[in-house]
């Protein structure tokens, strides 16, 4: 038992050699592989009547007391009632830099959770469009990944070779850069997320700022969920990567895996990226989910359920 919740560890696949850093080519002068995993945090199926989130729809008019809620609840998108359906959460990472992919992502049916790079240009304007379309907002936080330099990870990542003061300043700056977030997940981080000290620093700041954390699970035995659980931070781990490869057949297979996982466990958190083949598949697949018996959930609802927490006051 950790922090009052049972952790189910293991089942983490080895890294896929073909998914390093992809082809952003940030070109910054300064100085992830992906793995499939099961969620380390156990909980009841969202289809069960006792689901804390399914029963917690916020009122049409938000009372003044809501402003005192932590940001992960205050900025949360209203979670559709599941009505006995398995729930699926889709997180789209790496947003704000590749404008064509970002534009296609914004118009996808949702609610989706959009995870934005803190260094993207015109960030407030881009995020506002996503919010207007009913999507939830998170920060996509760069973290140190193997030998990769900041030209592939992005500027100012969390690094194991920096002082706590520098890492804390970088995290705070990034959290402040993306408006209206419920929390954040890691971009890359094959080195950073297995470092208990750095993940503890991250978790303590998430707790202080009232944020949730989604572990992208880019490496086995990540410390992200474990450190957040100890710190009392609402947290979850990604179940499926949609686009470990760019091959359309592999992406379609991943979407089938999402459905199977959600039917088996009651819920699935999946991460994808604003790449052409991924967006082609999502544009065709997302409109079919309701007819197949699924409900789309924002990340805040999934994390609330997995941590046994109510979403609304």
User: How confident is the model over 187-200, as pLDDT tens digits?
Assistant: 999 999 999 999 99
pLDDT for res 147: 78
58-82 per-position pLDDT tens digit: 444 555 555 689 999 999 999 999 9
DSSP character at residue 102: H
pLDDT for res 1: 35
Going from N- to C-terminal start, the domains of the chain cover: 66-306
pLDDT for res 63: 55
Mean pLDDT estimate for the chain: 84
pLDDT for res 75: 97
**Mean pLDDT across 103-124:** 98
What is the spatial distance between Cα 240 and Cα 237, in angstroms, rounded to a whole number?
9
Q: Is the pLDDT of residue 104 over 60?
A: yes
**Mean pLDDT across 209-232:** 97
Which range is least confidently modeled, 21-25, 194-198, 229-233, 290-294? 21-25
pLDDT for res 102: 98
268-296 per-position pLDDT tens digit: 999 999 999 999 999 999 999 999 999 99
Instruction: Tell me the CATH class for 66-306.
Output: alpha beta
Q: What is the share, in percent, of the chain residues with pLDDT greater than 70?
A: 77
Per-residue tokens: 96: 């704000």
pLDDT for res 74: 96
């Amino acid at each position: 038992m950790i922090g009052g919740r049972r952790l189910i560890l293991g089942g983490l696949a080895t890294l896929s050699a073909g998914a390093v850093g992809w082809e952003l080519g940030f070109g910054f002068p300064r100085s992830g592989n992906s793995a499939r995993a099961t969620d380390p945090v156990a909980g009841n199926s969202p289809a069960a009547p006792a689901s804390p989130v399914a029963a917690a729809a916020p009122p049409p008019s938000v009372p003044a007391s809501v402003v005192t809620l932590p940001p992960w609840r205050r900025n949360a998108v209203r979670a559709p009632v599941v009505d006995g359906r398995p729930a699926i959460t889709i997180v789209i990472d790496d947003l704000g830099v590749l404008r064509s992919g970002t534009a296609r992502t914004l118009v996808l049916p949702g609610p989706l959770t959009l995870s934005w790079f803190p260094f993207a240009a015109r960030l407030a304007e881009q995020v506002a469009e996503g919010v207007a379309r009913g999507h939830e907002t998170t920060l996509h936080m760069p973290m140190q990944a193997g030998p990769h330099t900041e030209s592939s990870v992005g500027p100012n990542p969390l690094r194991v070779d920096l002082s706590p003061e520098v890492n804390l300043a970088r995290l705070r700056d990034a959290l402040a850069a993306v408006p209206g977030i419920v929390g954040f997940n890691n971009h890359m981080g094959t080195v950073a997320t297995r470092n208990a000290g750095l993940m503890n620093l991250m978790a303590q700041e998430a707790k202080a700022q009232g944020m949730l954390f989604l572990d992208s699970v880019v490496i086995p035995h990540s410390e992200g969920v474990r450190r957040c659980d100890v710190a009392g931070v609402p947290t979850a781990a990604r179940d499926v990567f949609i686009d470990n490869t760019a091959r359309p057949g592999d992406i379609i297979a991943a979407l089938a895996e999402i459905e199977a996982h959600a039917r088996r466990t009651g819920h699935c958190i999946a991460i994808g990226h604003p790449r052409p083949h991924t967006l082609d598949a999502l544009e065709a697949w997302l409109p079919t989910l309701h007819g197949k018996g699924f409900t789309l959930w924002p990340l805040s609802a999934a994390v609330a359920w997995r941590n046994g927490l109510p979403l609304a006051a």
